[in-house]
Structure 1
Amino acid sequence: MEWFIQLGKGLGAFFFNPLLYLGLLFAVYLGYIRVKRERKNFTIRVKDGWFEFRTYIKKGWLLGLIFSIVAFLIGFMIPLAYVFTLTVVTVILSIFLKPGALSAAYTFGISFFIILAIEYSGIELPILQGILDQVTKEVIPGAALLTGFLLLIEGNLINKSASQHTSPKLVRSKRGLRVGIHESKRLWLIPMLVLIPSNALSIPIDFWPIVPTASGGFTFLFVPFWLGFGAQIRSQHPERGVRVIGKQVTILGTIVTFISAVGFWYPIASIVAVGIAIIGRILISVVYYVKDDAQIFYFSRGNQGIVVLDIIPGSPADKMGLQIGDVIRTVNGVQVQTTQQYYEALQLNRAYCKLEVIDDQGENRLVNRALYEGEHHELGVITFEMDSKWEKKDIS
């Protein structure tokens, strides 16, 4: 019963952590700039402005709980100084307002090496010396293993969350043509329980609940970790492109986790694991960008019809089963190759619409649906025009 009481106290303290609320503001900001850009490009937003806020709140809880249980069963501890440093590093990196900079490899990895440098350099920081004195060779492997765990969570979230509901965007190709890309920017809250050596809290936080053990005791600490992701997908279907990155991050997290586990017996393995995490995550981003940039744009004008850049949720196009990457070949029996032709063909029958569509696998299909008053007059299809008026206006 005492353990449950202490867990409850630890959970209550979670809500006093400033990272929790700074993350809320960051997520709202991401939604704001996305909606502003989409309205500028397409005069309408695809998802509402609170989408990133809901993603931040909801998506990371289950994975945080699962890995908290694993961490508790393993029983590894991390120094309080590491948690404190991680908070500071996270806040500093968030100043750039780039969620991609908040990968676990960067926030956890940089914090790890800062603590390592303080431990082995003998630097003394009077205000924080009480918690820095608790950094030992025995607890540093726990920080490395935590980096691996969070990379595994990051890979899973990229694969299942960041790949969904990516945002369309208009850019210029190298030849000056108007083309579409998709970008994904996410911030996730990962609530995790970590074990802190009990004596680490004796100076700064005397009131914290302590769980006694034979080895001296530990305390529960619930921490609102952040994970961030940012990527632009040019040459692939956006869902597949993001999933490629997610799979690579998961593989990296697996490697880092296994090597960091060895660090409990051979401390040098902890340093190697975190180094691999940072370098590996950089390489994943750089290599994907270089390969993606070298290929042709996935969303570019073709001779077959109108390319579907995105679909507004709940619109007629959504209910008809149109998908990102589909090409609308005919509308009400009329072949279309420009958005002007597409809009004119829709007006031929305002009560019913029949489309011939080519999916991204090259397969043809017919979709049709009755149209009702008040529904989106363009079916809710997000595309891009290729006309001389736009070109002249944009270039000037």
Structure 2
Amino acid sequence: MFLDPVFYYAFFLAAVLGVSRVKRERKNFTIRAQDAYFELRQLVPAGLVAGLVLSLAIVAAGLTVPLATVLLVAVFTLLFSLTGNMRLVGPAYTVGASFFALIYLGGRSIDFFFVREAFEAAADRIYPSVAVLLGLLIIAEGILISKRGNIATSPKLITSKRGQRVGVHEARKLWLVPVFLLLPGSALTLPFDWWPVFSIGENTFSLFLVPFVIGMHQQIQSMLPAQAIKAYGKKVTTLGVLVLLVSVAGYWYPIAAIVAVSLAILGREAIAFLRKIKEENRPTYFSRKNEGLMILGIIPNSPAEKMGLKVGELISKVNGLSTRDESDFYEALQQNRAHCRLEVLDTNGQVRFVQRALYENDHHELGILFVHDERKWDERAV
């Protein structure tokens, strides 16, 4: 795994995502929601679990893929990441593009180090095992999106089609999923006697831990982030199951493998396109409301988080005073700097009351991010 540039590049990408998110959040709100290392902390743990499950399934099934596929996946991961859209570094695009590139390059002589031997060994051109691997990775992608995609989505301010300032939530996530793969032949040899090599009949196989990057890039504006991302993840998982079922038939009918990979790429694009159209045709959820002040984001470890306030809730009263904008909210807090009592309308339309003592080092707005007019960049400490 440490020989694969994707392993190191995934950490670099996660760091870039974290820094760019913090800059944007500070520009919008003069404060960041999560620190710049949040994406790095999320990169590995969930991916390790997903990779372990996939590895057990792949090794148990004896699924083998040519080394040329691993090389191509690394190349397409690097290329597609340059677009800035983390969805494109997902398996549907990187593994899918590698499958079709292998059809064209398989069996050819490429005069570049050990790459020549890797592609010459891939003479069969069409590998149903690559399509099966793609189906499994898309299932893992859907589950990761459903379970982990809604964690700490980033609040963001945009201008609507009507020219009004509204809020959205952006989820740009990366997961590093290391998967054990059986690679046939001896295209890549290592000087270790203990390296696991298997011989089945006349065929030799090596066991390698290959890192795959799974990414998501979703902007939610018409509903709560958790609901939208969970529904999105279910659709991706369903697509993965369908791709897996079709790809298995490729062992008997090679054309089925091509159909499965095509379905993966087109299906992944269709899911993203339909979601975007649906979002654009619905009213914005995070906008100014007559009933109160909409909560767009919560700063971690802030008084608002300790009071149990949630994204999407409306604050109708502060210390008994009605609030319609940030100015009303701040003035109401000043009525009693030692204690605050909020009347909150939750996402189900139910009224509840929360209260808390305030301390000298607490955030002056309780750590709540609201929808407001655009603020200019400043250098205040945050």
Structure-1-length-normalised TM-score:
0.90
Matches within 5 A, 1:216-235: 216-235=203-222
Residues 102-136 of structure 1 show CA distances to partners (whole Å, capped at 9, x for unaligned) of: 121001100100001223xx644233331112224
One of 38, 42, 50 as aligned partner of 1:55: 42
Whether 1:86 aligns to 2:73 is yes
Q: How does 1:16-27 map to 2 (within 5 A)?
A: 16-27=3-14
SS at match of 2:245: helix
Q: Which residue of 2 aligns with 1:143?
A: 130
1:189 to 157, 176, 179: 176
Q: Distance in 1 between matches of 2:266 and 2:364?
A: 49
- Pair 1:264-2:251 in alignment: yes
Query: 1:311 aligned to 298, 304, 315, which one?
Result: 298
Q: For the residues of structure 2 that align with 1:277 and 1:352, how far apart are their CA atoms? A: 55
Residue 368 of structure 1 deviates from its aligned partner by: 1.1
What letter corresponds to residue 347 of structure 1 in structure 2? Q
Change (3 A) 1:137 1:16: closer
Letter paired with 1:79: P
2:362 aligned partner:
375
Q: Taking structure 1 as reference, are residues 302 and 49 closer, same or farther at Cα in structure 2, changes over 3 Å only?
A: same
Question: Which structure has greater helix proportion?
Answer: 1
In the aligned structure 2, how far is the partner of 1:201 from the partner of 1:192? 17
Q: Does 1:335 align with 2:329?
A: no
Task: Encode CA deviations 1:177-212: one digit per residue, 9 max, x unaligned.
Answer: 11000000011100010000133336xx67665222
2:238 is aligned with 1:251: yes
Aligned to 1:177: 164
2:339 is matched with: 352
- Contact kept, 8 Å, 2:5 with 2:74, in 1: the verdict is no
In the alignment, is residue 164 of structure 1 matched against residue 117 of structure 2? no
Which moves more between the two structures, 122-131 or 85-94? 122-131
The alpha-carbon deviation at position 362 of structure 1 amounts to 1.0
- Are positions 1:290 and 2:274 aligned together? no
Alignment of 1:26-37 (within 5 A): 26-37=13-24
Q: Does 1:96 align with 2:47?
A: no
| Matched-pair contact (CA < 8 Å) for 1:353–1:368 | yes
Given candidates 74, 79, 98, the residue that maps to 1:111 is 98
Cα offset, 1:57, TM superposition: 2.3
The number of aligned residues is 373
Q: Secondary structure at the match of 1:126?
A: coil
Structure 1 stretch displaced more, 128-137 or 216-225: 128-137
Give the letter for the 1:272 counterpart: V
Q: How far apart, CA to CA, are the structure 2 residues paired with 1:23 and 1:385?
A: 35
Q: For the residues of structure 2 that align with 1:157 and 1:323, how far apart are their CA atoms?
A: 23
**Displacement, 1:372?**
1.8
Task: Give the Cα–Cα distance (whole angstroms) in 2 for the partners of residues 139 and 212 of structure 1.
Answer: 23
Q: Deviations over 1:238-292 (max 9, x none)?
A: 1111112111100000101111112122211111110000000000000000110
Cα-to-partner distance string for 1:315-365 (whole Å, 9 max, x where unaligned): 111011100000000001111111100000011111111111111111111
1:279 aligned partner:
266
User: Structure 2: which amino acid aligns with 1:217?
Assistant: T
Question: Unaligned stretches of 5+ in structure 2?
Answer: 378-382
Residue type of the partner of 1:151? I
Cα deviation per residue 1:31-84 (whole Å; 9 max; x = unaligned)?
000000000000000001100011112220011011101100000100111111
Q: Which residue of 1 aligns with 2:116?
A: 129
Q: How many angstroms apart in 1 are the aligned matches of 2:304 and 2:275? A: 31
RMSD of aligned Cα (Å): 1.8
Residue identity opposite 2:297 in structure 1: D
Aligned mate of 2:64, from 66, 72, 77: 77
Q: Is the CA contact 2:108–2:120 (under 8 Å) kept in the aligned structure 1?
A: no
Structure 1 unaligned residues grouped into runs of 5+: 1-13
Q: What TM-score results when the alignment is normalised by the length of structure 2? A: 0.94
The whole-number CA distance in structure 1 between the counterparts of 2:84 and 2:7 is: 16
Deviations 1:222-244 (A, max 9, x none): 11111111010111111111112
Residue identity in the other structure for 2:206: T
Q: 345-354 or 193-202: which moved more?
A: 193-202
> Residue type of the partner of 1:166?
T
